[in-house]
A = this chain, B = another copy of it.
Amino acid sequence: MSPGRPTERALIELIRRAAPAPAGVRVGIGDDCAVLEPSVGASLLATTDLLLEDVHFRRRYARPRDVGWKALAVNLSDIASMGGRPRWALVALACPEDVTTDEVEAFWAGALALAAEHGVAVVGGDTAASPHGWAVNVTVLGETGRPPLLRSTARPGDVVAVTGALGRSAAGLALLEHPDAARGLTAEAREDATGAHLRPLPRVREGQWLAAAGGVTAMIDLSDGLATDLGHVVEESRVGARVDLPRVPVGVSARAAAAALGRDALAWATSGGEDYELLLTCAPDAYARLAAGLETATGTPLSAVGEIAAAGTGLHWTDAAGREVAVGPGFEHFVTGRARV
């Protein structure tokens, strides 16, 4: 253990200073359990994610502050996808022996900065030594007073829509992995893409607005990419779906990065993953109201990209000429032919 490694006591003080008396917290960090006061009549939402160095992030370019931010962000995105309000987080961090106090404090600063943005209290924490790289687990608890928006309730005929623009995170990852390969890219495009990858902005307010607006029939967050996550909706809802590739909103920075790197921005948008935008379904006559209302309320655009089809028809993708193309989850290149579910 490094002499600069912070004690558990110092960590507790750090977190207590960040949020001395958060709402709904009877006992915060420092006892065996957090003691929380749920809202009467609300459902409790719970989600957890385990992130490992060199599987989910690379310390070569993800600073400790980024790791803390993203570990919380991916869980807030799960709460957002149900239309919930995130309230409390438990954060466990294991680091190699040579970690410094500055690095651990930066990790917590990243997590606490995003927590503060969303009114989330960090109520449990754990630090341990790791023999191989960083390991982070975050659990977020949220609430909703409405029926949560599920991935299993899409209906044939529904519109499929996504928030924001896709492919930015995959573009950022490509730029971070190949820092010398895109010299012609503007600093703005580079920062937009790498920022989307390192410090994603979970669509918490958008999810809550959409749940309150009514008319959304199913929702999921885009963590694994449009192809995989729409596949989850199709499977869990026992429906089919069709996506018009020209309508998929591809991020400007993703297009610029793809041009500079000789890559395919649309492939990043459909299969790159980690955009943490929301994918929703709604009745066709609800779409215009939801799109206009969401943009007015939050500034975030909503784009219709396809429609839900009958059960057993699978997941299909069509290009600008109306031809069916195959889009593989996690693959970056399209091949013409039959689509796969």
Chain A: residues with CB nearer than 8 A to chain B?
26-27, 30-38, 40, 43-50, 52-56, 78-79, 81-82, 84, 88, 90-94, 123-124, 126, 128-133, 135, 137, 139, 141-142, 144, 148, 150-152, 220-221, 236
Whether the pair B33, A37 counts as a contact (CB closer than 8 A) is: no
Of the A-B pairs whose beta carbons lie under 8 Å apart in the complex, a sample of 27, sorted by A's number, is A27-B148, A30-B236, A31-B150, A32-B151, A33-B45, A33-B82, A34-B47, A35-B43, A35-B44, A35-B45, A36-B43, A36-B44, A37-B43, A46-B90, A46-B139, A46-B141, A47-B124, A48-B90, A50-B128, A52-B94, A52-B135, A55-B129, A56-B128, A94-B135, A132-B132, A132-B133, A137-B139
The distance in angstroms between the C-alpha atoms of A90 and B141, with both chains bound, is 11
The distance in angstroms between the C-alpha atoms of A148 and B31, with both chains bound, is 11
**Chain A interface, DSSP helix/strand/loop, else mixed:** strand
A33: B residues at CB distance < 8 A: 45-47, 78-79, 81-82, 84, 142, 148
Shortest CB–CB separation between residue A294 and chain B, in angstroms?
A: 19
Q: A27-B148, A32-B151, A44-B44 are in contact. List 11 more A-B contacts (CB 8 A).
A: A32-B81, A32-B82, A33-B142, A35-B148, A44-B141, A46-B124, A48-B91, A48-B124, A50-B92, A52-B130, A55-B94
Whether the pair B82, A31 counts as a contact (CB closer than 8 A) is: yes
A55: B residues at CB distance < 8 A: 94, 128-131
Q: Given A32-B78, A34-B46, A92-B49, are A54 and B142 neighbors across the interface (CB < 8 Å)? A: no
The distance in angstroms between the C-alpha atoms of A151 and B37, with both chains bound, is 19
Whether the pair A220, B32 counts as a contact (CB closer than 8 A) is: yes
The distance in angstroms between the C-alpha atoms of A139 and B236, with both chains bound, is 25
A27, A128, A139: residue with the most chain B Cβ atoms closer than 10 Å? A139
Shortest CB–CB separation between residue A60 and chain B, in angstroms?
A: 14
The distance in angstroms between the C-alpha atoms of A150 and B220, with both chains bound, is 39
The distance in angstroms between the C-alpha atoms of A35 and B144, with both chains bound, is 9
The distance in angstroms between the C-alpha atoms of A133 and B37, with both chains bound, is 37
Shortest CB–CB separation between residue A56 and chain B, in angstroms?
A: 8
The distance in angstroms between the C-alpha atoms of A327 and B37, with both chains bound, is 39
Whether the pair B47, A90 counts as a contact (CB closer than 8 A) is: yes
A124: B residues at CB distance < 8 A: 46-48
> Which residue of B has the minimal Cβ distance to A77?
B32
Shortest CB–CB separation between residue A124 and chain B, in angstroms?
A: 5
A94: B residues at CB distance < 8 A: 50, 52, 55, 135
A36: B residues at CB distance < 8 A: 43-46
Whether the pair A133, B131 counts as a contact (CB closer than 8 A) is: yes
Whether the pair A48, B131 counts as a contact (CB closer than 8 A) is: no
A88: B residues at CB distance < 8 A: 46
